[in-house]
Structure 1
Amino acid sequence: MSTLTFLWKLIMYRPYRYSANAVAWTLIYLAPIAPGLITKQFFDSLTGESAVAYGTWGIIALLLGAAVARVMLIIVGFITDVQFRFRMGMLLRRNVLEHVLKQPGARAIPCSPGEAISHFRDDVDQTEEAVSWSVDSFGMTCFAAVSCFILIRIDAQMTLFVFLPLVLVVTAAQLATSRLQKYRAASREATSKVTGAISEMFGNVQAIQVAGAEHRVAQRFRRLGDERRKTMLKDRLMTEVLDSIFSNSVNLGTGLILLLAAQKMRDGSFSVGDFAVFVYYLTFVTQFITNFGKFLTFFKQMSVALDRLTALLQGASAKVLTVFNPLYLSKGERNARPAKAEGVKLENAISARVDESRLDRIELNGLSYRYPDTGRGIRNINLTLERGSFTVITGTIGSGKTTLVRALLGLLPVTEGTVRWNGRIVEDLGAFFIPPRSAYTAQMPRLYSDTLRNNILLGLSEHDGNLARAIHAAVMEYDVEHLQLGLDTMIGPRGVKLSGGQAQRTAAARMLVRDAELYVFDDLSSALDVETEQKLWDRLFAARGDATCLVVSHRKAALAHADQIIVMEDGRIEAEGTAEQLLQSSDSFRKLWFGEAS
């Protein structure tokens, strides 16, 4: 998508709001036309070259009236500008966020969260500026056209010298295009690295302290800051150079006008009123030339923002950025949405539960995924999970256990193979494997800086003792009793106020409270002591009813409960069966079993 097409699509998102904004600012920029003509007639009347006589108080009243009218127009213009530009910015952020959330979870963004925040903030702001300044450019162009018509009728030669600097501005902006884009891209990239480093430092404070790496981390951050300072200095310097070119070209035009006007007034071919209107319009023409140059600068920088936002889409079309989606900002829009949307949502939820949610069998046929960087992954996985079964996937580190469950749940994009739910092929795994069909606990639990209750429920309503049952099944009742505020205790960013085992069991409770058909555990008990782990598996086995469990673990307590055990090696299934069968037939399983025992 070209930058011009991108600009046009954003304008057409709310064309009536953009048009209202354009009309308001066009009137603002056209407002000085009338005071200029009034000033000309006033000075011509003083020299007897005009029959119109306003009088001193009359001219003051007219000019004050024009000033007040322009102020009122500016207020209206700011309102229309805010109404349009922030809707446009929110549309961009909404579309990018929606696209990110639809991607496989393990590769939702191609950069760190801090860098992604820079894209959402800086690049969208840059786009807003360019689109907003397009309105100013249109209004100023209208003023330039009207004032040019008036000034040409007075003196064509003088008018030429007024608008000549515009040619210099446009030429300078075009010549600076490649360098301007290069510096802006480098500046944005350096800023992204700094924000990414901040995010990583805040998220790994404990690891940095334990490794005694505070000085080295600070040095790295200082180096990134120096690089950002240099790139931003170049970017800012380039912008200031262009502004200087714009201003000096205008000043050159001003000097030429004054010299030429003096000569013409001496010859008598130029009246005092003509001189007054030229000088009056010159201020606004100067603003027009400068601001038009700024719009060209913003437009060139917008192409950098477009490239960076497109990179965040990871190969998807840039058209995703400008899809016309509702934002539900006004009270009327918010009130109108639930009546239709909630009915459809409820109908779909009921249909999903009746037709698809109940699990009888899951079949994986030839499932494969390769990590692009290493070439490792899983290949040709064939596996069947029956309703009510308890399946454990085990194997050495790097054998593909986590990759398998992530591929099944759509958190990694499957390259080959199919997944069938009750005999029907699942097309979109990521959208399908969600509650009430399945619930998942990752190897590294993701917790929020919120209460323990909200971390478990995550927006789900508390009813019929579902929260209490989930806490009991996750062996958390003792922990909750000894927390200062119980379930209302704030657990801090990433759950730092909880131990590793408490964090894992909180994630388990979050999963169990959703009453799913398929529960997927990825190394759930790795941070638990033997007694707590045994309680956890016993309670899970008792509480799951006829739900299906898929567990990644090498712990004996989990393996002992398994109906079937899948042994992974180098991304493929090496063996499968019960613990007794595998102890007799699989060397790899015997090593895992007796290694665990030792």
Structure 2
Amino acid sequence: MTTSPLPQPPVPVKERTFALSKELFRYKPGLFAFNLFMWGMVHASPALLTLAVSGVFRALEQADGLKTGGQPINPAIAAAWVSVAWFAFVRLSRFGIFYGAFRAWIELWYTLDALVRRNLLSYLLTARRSRRLPDTPAEAVSRFRDDVDDVAGYTEVWVDGAGFVLYSVVAITLMARVDPLITALVCTPLLLMVVFVQRLSPTIRAYRRRMREATARVTDFIGETFGAVSAVKLAAREDGMVAHLRSLGETRRHAALRDVLLTELIRGVNTNMVNLAVGLVLLLGANKVRGETLTVPDFVLFIGLLPRLTGSMGFFGDAIARHRRTGVSYDRMTRLLQDAPDTTIVEHHDAYLNREAPAAPPAPTAIPLRELRVDGLTALHPSGLGVHDASFSVQRGEFVVVTGRIGSGKSTLLRAVLGLIPTQSGTVAWNGEIQDDPASFLVPPRSAYTAQLPNLFSDTLRENITSGADEAHLNRAVQLAVLEPDLHALSGGLDTPVGARGVKLSGGQIQRAAVARMLARPADLLVFDDVSSALDARTEAQLWQGLAQTDATCLVVSHRRAALLRADRILLMQGGRITDEGTLPDLLERSDEMRALWAEQDA
């Protein structure tokens, strides 16, 4: 069985942010190009307005000269009216251009936003081998929300940047034809801002990372608190929880404040550099107008182009900072996917925003189980604890129980067999065929699994059991899971909302609802991880007796007598190893550990 590498932190690459973003832009090249064109016109059109105003002054100046010379001024006045008409046309057209550009931008933003979220969720749910979140689910939500928004929003830098570059090229060309010296003074702050932001790049990344991590901790704590409201109330720890939330919020406030202050510092420096350049331009320009080396139309052209040109320079400085912050978002999403290639985040798939998604693919084909064989399976946690060199087999129709003390590795063994955690060595074979990716193969209708601490969705009991599948086996699943008596006690029966994570149900009801969910879709191999821990002896006995009627093949973790008495074979674990195997009478006869576990049931 191919092993999964332990998660490693992402390695920063100098051009990684640009390379990933370029691949993202290629998802909808036509839409991206249309945005570049439309926003280029939006940002470049002020240059045309300035040219029109300058043309009016130039025509009026020409008319004044013609009048002084005693010549007819009608051609000059007509030229002035043409410039006014051109100004009105560009001004009115800009409203329509802006509307079209804004519609195109909204479509591009949400398309890329949906694509990145789709890729993250798809990899977490369908990737080969085990998929374990590196952090809590609540913290993963912040990656899906904030970091994805940052990456999609980074597109704005390129969409607007193209327009600002076009405007800057036009403006600098026109201004340089008037006075190269003044133009150079305007462009100098751009170079200074680039150097300034480059020097601050490590600080920008560090502050953004701390702010995102602080936000994730707040989200994580809120999620855990809402999932354990009853425990908080029973322990009377409301004040302590509120105090801790206030502390986390204060930490987040400080981190966010530093991040925002740095952003505003960069913008402030940009603005002040630009204002300084504008002041110098006005002083030099006024002197040249007074000295008649600069005409009034040229000065009007200069003054008209200057504000937006200096604003463009501020945009370029801010764009560099956003580039660094987007790199942090890519790093955080890469950590969420752990061993996935960088390009997984920006892979091209249909997001189905403008049409219905196709029907879900059919379930995997059934391969009737004859034998499940595990050989030399080793799965270790980062702490070094886990399962060592486990080997056993399960024949069709057998009821095999894995037992042992707490911490002996029972749950780890099941999760390793199912491919839910990384393994270091060993194989899992289905009917003699080794499975390189058990996590993808051991799914219904081949195998089904109920965890030791199952999770329910905040929906009705019916939806939790069927999980979107048809209800053909619903009644049978409810009966086998010994859930029928509880339905009579619930006000809405199967349509009763279970609350957040099943908070309205007891521990035993949650366990049996999870078992019913597993049984609602037929599977050859049923894997139970200590599901009877929250059940009374009578209910547990009914559960195992009902499963015996189905001739199901079961692999069960349990230390309860009802399961041990039902077992065809027992795997005894100690210290992460299978130390003995056999029937209950055989183990009680030869194993001190088994006799001790059996005696504990009497206590």
- Is the pair's TM-score, using the shorter chain for normalization, greater than 0.5? yes
For 1:228 and 1:10, locate their aligned partners in 2 and report how far apart those are by CA, in whole Å.
Answer: 30
Mapping 1:314-329, distance limit 5 Å: 314-329=338-353
TM-fit CA distance, 1:101: 2.0
1:472 corresponds to? 479
TM-fit CA distance, 1:59: 5.2
1:383 corresponds to? 392
Deviations 1:388-442 (A, max 9, x none): 1111111111111111111111111121110110010011010011100011111
The question of whether the paired residues in 1 share the 8 Å contact of 2:39 and 2:98 is answered with yes
The question of whether the paired residues in 2 share the 8 Å contact of 1:25 and 1:136 is answered with yes
For 2:421 and 2:223, locate their aligned partners in 1 and report how far apart those are by CA, in whole Å.
Answer: 24
Residue aligned with 1:498, SS: coil
The question of whether the paired residues in 1 share the 8 Å contact of 2:511 and 2:531 is answered with yes
Q: Which amino acid aligns with 2:537?
A: V
Residue aligned with 1:514, SS: coil
Residue aligned with 1:31, SS: helix
The question of whether the paired residues in 1 share the 8 Å contact of 2:56 and 2:84 is answered with no
The question of whether the paired residues in 2 share the 8 Å contact of 1:42 and 1:52 is answered with no
Give 2:227's match in structure 1, choosing from 203, 206, 222: 203
1:532 corresponds to? 539
Deviations 1:80-101 (A, max 9, x none): 2122222222222222222222
Mapping 1:533-548, distance limit 5 Å: 533-542=540-549, 544-545=550-551, 547-548=552-553
Deviations 1:498-542 (A, max 9, x none): 111111110111111111000011111111122222212111211
Residue aligned with 2:532, SS: coil
For 1:512 and 1:34, locate their aligned partners in 2 and report how far apart those are by CA, in whole Å.
Answer: 71
The question of whether the paired residues in 1 share the 8 Å contact of 2:569 and 2:581 is answered with yes
For 1:154 and 1:532, locate their aligned partners in 2 and report how far apart those are by CA, in whole Å.
Answer: 92
Mapping 1:28-177, distance limit 5 Å: 28-48=42-62, 52-54=76-78, 60-102=84-126, 108-177=132-201
TM-fit CA distance, 1:74: 1.2
Between 572-581 and 454-463, the greater mean CA deviation after superposition: 572-581
1:305 corresponds to? 329
Mapping 1:395-406, distance limit 5 Å: 395-406=404-415
In structure 1, the gaps of 5 or more residues are none
Q: Which amino acid aligns with 1:311?
A: R
TM-fit CA distance, 1:22: 0.7
The question of whether the paired residues in 1 share the 8 Å contact of 2:561 and 2:601 is answered with yes
Normalised TM-score (structure 1): 0.93
For 1:468 and 1:450, locate their aligned partners in 2 and report how far apart those are by CA, in whole Å.
Answer: 19
Residue aligned with 1:363, SS: strand
Q: Which amino acid aligns with 2:589?
A: Q
Number of equivalent positions:
579
The question of whether the paired residues in 2 share the 8 Å contact of 1:104 and 1:410 is answered with no
The question of whether the paired residues in 1 share the 8 Å contact of 2:190 and 2:313 is answered with yes
1:413 aligns with 2:422: yes
Q: Which amino acid aligns with 1:519?
A: L
Give 1:441's match in structure 2, choosing from 425, 450, 457: 450
TM-fit CA distance, 1:329: 1.7
Residue aligned with 2:427, SS: strand
Give 1:522's match in structure 2, choosing from 524, 529, 534: 529
For 1:106 and 1:216, locate their aligned partners in 2 and report how far apart those are by CA, in whole Å.
Answer: 37
The question of whether the paired residues in 2 share the 8 Å contact of 1:473 and 1:536 is answered with yes
The question of whether the paired residues in 2 share the 8 Å contact of 1:104 and 1:413 is answered with no
2:501 corresponds to? 494
2:256 corresponds to? 232
Q: Which amino acid aligns with 2:412?
A: T
Give 1:19's match in structure 2, choosing from 29, 33, 40: 33
Q: Which amino acid aligns with 2:308?
A: F
1:285 corresponds to? 309
The question of whether the paired residues in 1 share the 8 Å contact of 2:56 and 2:81 is answered with no
Give 2:471's match in structure 1, choosing from 457, 462, 467: 462
For 2:441 and 2:143, locate their aligned partners in 1 and report how far apart those are by CA, in whole Å.
Answer: 29
For 1:218 and 1:102, locate their aligned partners in 2 and report how far apart those are by CA, in whole Å.
Answer: 38
For 1:64 and 1:42, locate their aligned partners in 2 and report how far apart those are by CA, in whole Å.
Answer: 12
For 2:176 and 2:409, locate their aligned partners in 1 and report how far apart those are by CA, in whole Å.
Answer: 78
In structure 2, the gaps of 5 or more residues are 1-12, 66-74
TM-fit CA distance, 1:66: 1.4
For 2:318 and 2:182, locate their aligned partners in 1 and report how far apart those are by CA, in whole Å.
Answer: 25
Between 269-278 and 55-64, the greater mean CA deviation after superposition: 55-64
For 2:265 and 2:504, locate their aligned partners in 1 and report how far apart those are by CA, in whole Å.
Answer: 52
1:578 corresponds to? 583
TM-fit CA distance, 1:164: 2.5
Give 2:561's match in structure 1, choosing from 553, 556, 562: 556
2:275 corresponds to? 251
For 1:406 and 1:182, locate their aligned partners in 2 and report how far apart those are by CA, in whole Å.
Answer: 37
The question of whether the paired residues in 2 share the 8 Å contact of 1:41 and 1:52 is answered with no
TM-fit CA distance, 1:175: 2.1
Q: Which amino acid aligns with 2:594?
A: F
Give 2:572's match in structure 1, choosing from 533, 557, 567: 567
Larger RCO (CA within 8 A; separation ≥ 6): 2
The question of whether the paired residues in 1 share the 8 Å contact of 2:128 and 2:440 is answered with no
For 1:64 and 1:415, locate their aligned partners in 2 and report how far apart those are by CA, in whole Å.
Answer: 73
For 2:313 and 2:347, locate their aligned partners in 1 and report how far apart those are by CA, in whole Å.
Answer: 34
For 1:429 and 1:482, locate their aligned partners in 2 and report how far apart those are by CA, in whole Å.
Answer: 39
2:379 corresponds to? 369
For 2:487 and 2:86, locate their aligned partners in 1 and report how far apart those are by CA, in whole Å.
Answer: 75
For 2:180 and 2:581, locate their aligned partners in 1 and report how far apart those are by CA, in whole Å.
Answer: 92
Q: Which amino acid aligns with 2:572?
A: V
For 2:454 and 2:330, locate their aligned partners in 1 and report how far apart those are by CA, in whole Å.
Answer: 34
The question of whether the paired residues in 1 share the 8 Å contact of 2:129 and 2:440 is answered with no
1:358 corresponds to? 368
Deviations 1:452-474 (A, max 9, x none): 100000011112xx111111111
TM-fit CA distance, 1:237: 0.7
TM-fit CA distance, 1:205: 2.1
Residue aligned with 1:32, SS: helix
Deviations 1:29-71 (A, max 9, x none): 1212222121111112222268542488765543332122112
For 1:477 and 1:127, locate their aligned partners in 2 and report how far apart those are by CA, in whole Å.
Answer: 49
TM-fit CA distance, 1:163: 2.3
Q: Which amino acid aligns with 2:509?
A: Q
Q: Which amino acid aligns with 1:12?
A: R
Q: Which amino acid aligns with 1:582?
A: L
For 1:437 and 1:251, locate their aligned partners in 2 and report how far apart those are by CA, in whole Å.
Answer: 71
For 2:249 and 2:78, locate their aligned partners in 1 and report how far apart those are by CA, in whole Å.
Answer: 62
How high is the sequence identity, in percent, across the aligned residues?
40
TM-fit CA distance, 1:103: 5.9
1:595 corresponds to? 600
For 1:103 and 1:572, locate their aligned partners in 2 and report how far apart those are by CA, in whole Å.
Answer: 29
The question of whether the paired residues in 1 share the 8 Å contact of 2:129 and 2:437 is answered with no
Residue aligned with 1:436, SS: coil
